[in-house]
Structure 1
Amino acid sequence: MHLDEDHTQRTQDTESAVFVYLPTLEDFQGAIRARARRTGAGRVETALPPLLTTCLMLGFGVSRGFLPVVLAVSLVLALGAGLFGAARTRRGMARRLHAAMATYGQCRTEVDERGAATTGETMSYTADWKLYTHYTETPELFVLLGGHRASCLALLPKRGAQEPADVDRLRGILDRNLRKL
């Protein structure tokens, strides 16, 4: 079966939602932010750097006999450095994901009961629902997450919906196939 025949058969067999969009850095930042808020792995990645830097500074300060005021200032600075590091890590992750997807150019994603098929200007890929386990929704995006530690991530910007009903159709398809976070 050719690609065009497969696409036609896929569309005829099931209800689908179609999104056409150019992925932006802001999309990936929003998806990484949603992952950080909604998954255990994301929360750990966000909390661990500030917690570690603060605990290490506390241990160092106590072992060196810092004065209480110096220790307090050091802990605040360590916490700030940890928070900065966590934010920088998320920004870097979003930049790397965007750089990888930017090569696709404008994307057309069709989602149905079997999964999602994305076609870009230079590449295409198909993912069935086994790849993803959960999804979350933000005001701008649908974020699909997969794997035990939410290591697999895909996003669909709502602005790409070809008709307003596609957003509701996609929500229904996701509800039937994935668990909402």
Structure 2
Amino acid sequence: MDAVEGDVVEQDQERRTSAEFVYRLTTEDFEEALRARALRVPAGRAQALMAPLVGTVGVIAFPAAAGGVSLPVWITSLVLALGCGCWGSVRGLRTMARRMSSVMEPYGRCRTVADGRSAVTTGERGSFTTDWAMHKEYLETPGLFVLLSGDRSAGIAVVPKRGARGPEDVERLKAILDRNLKRR
């Protein structure tokens, strides 16, 4: 076997053990990732519940400080505070998703190749390598793989499943992630 055949065999073997995704990240991708994080990670739950909790505490504490408020006013204030707090949490996630999307927008169309060592993402204007040690765990949504940097960190990486060359790449990436990260 000559050097060219050896390179072809090596590339074919690498293709069978790596997963390749080509995609352009959208704001909706980041919204889905942040929603999933908010549901499954303690830091995400705390972040999502902070606005409704602060509003509720404020409404409960205000009547005591004001010397008493009638029951209808107190109930109306409580309902409004909870509603505004929930709306603020959802709005906050959308704003964060738009900001994350604007950071990734210059990369344009991305190509991520993941193997047992790392994930290499190449965009139209730059590239970066993510060693698995940078992430502690991952979660899977119907449309994404979301890599999490840790419980107290907001760092995430998003890989949309729609970018896979085929279903075998989705399964390959899932196997790679299972070997290297904790599934949440």
What is the TM-score of this pair, normalised by structure 1?
Answer: 0.91
The question of whether the paired residues in 1 share the 8 Å contact of 2:42 and 2:151 is answered with no
Runs of 4+ aligned residues of structure 1 deviating over 4 Å after TM superposition are: none
Determine the C-alpha separation between the residues in 1 that align with 2:131 and 2:40.
Answer: 22
In structure 2, the partner of 1:79 is: 82
Q: For residues 56-75 of structure 1, give each alpha carbon's deviation from its aligned partner in whole angstroms, at most 9, with x where no partner exists.
A: 11100232211011101000
State the percentage of identical aligned residues. Answer: 49
The question of whether the paired residues in 2 share the 8 Å contact of 1:105 and 1:120 is answered with yes
Unaligned 5+ segments in structure 1 are: none
Determine the C-alpha separation between the residues in 2 that align with 1:110 and 1:12.
Answer: 10
In structure 1, the partner of 2:59 is: 57
Q: For residues 77-132 of structure 1, give each alpha carbon's deviation from its aligned partner in whole angstroms, at most 9, with x where no partner exists.
A: 01111111111111111001000001100000001111110000001000101111
Q: For residues 113-161 of structure 1, give each alpha carbon's deviation from its aligned partner in whole angstroms, at most 9, with x where no partner exists.
A: 1111000000100010111111111111011001341421001110000
Shift of 1:15: 1.4
Determine the C-alpha separation between the residues in 1 that align with 2:55 and 2:74.
Answer: 13
| 1:159 maps to 2:173 | no
Aligned residues, how many? 174
In structure 2, the partner of 1:109 is: 112
In structure 2, the partner of 1:118 is: 121
For 1:47, which of 36, 46, 49 is the aligned residue?
Answer: 49
Unaligned 5+ segments in structure 2 are: 1-6
RMSD value, Cα: 1.8
Determine the C-alpha separation between the residues in 2 that align with 1:161 and 1:97.
Answer: 22
| 1:176 maps to 2:179 | yes
Write the letter of the residue equivalent to 1:47.
L
Matches within 5 A, 1:22-33: 22-33=24-35
Secondary structure of 2:28 counterpart: helix
The question of whether the paired residues in 2 share the 8 Å contact of 1:49 and 1:86 is answered with yes
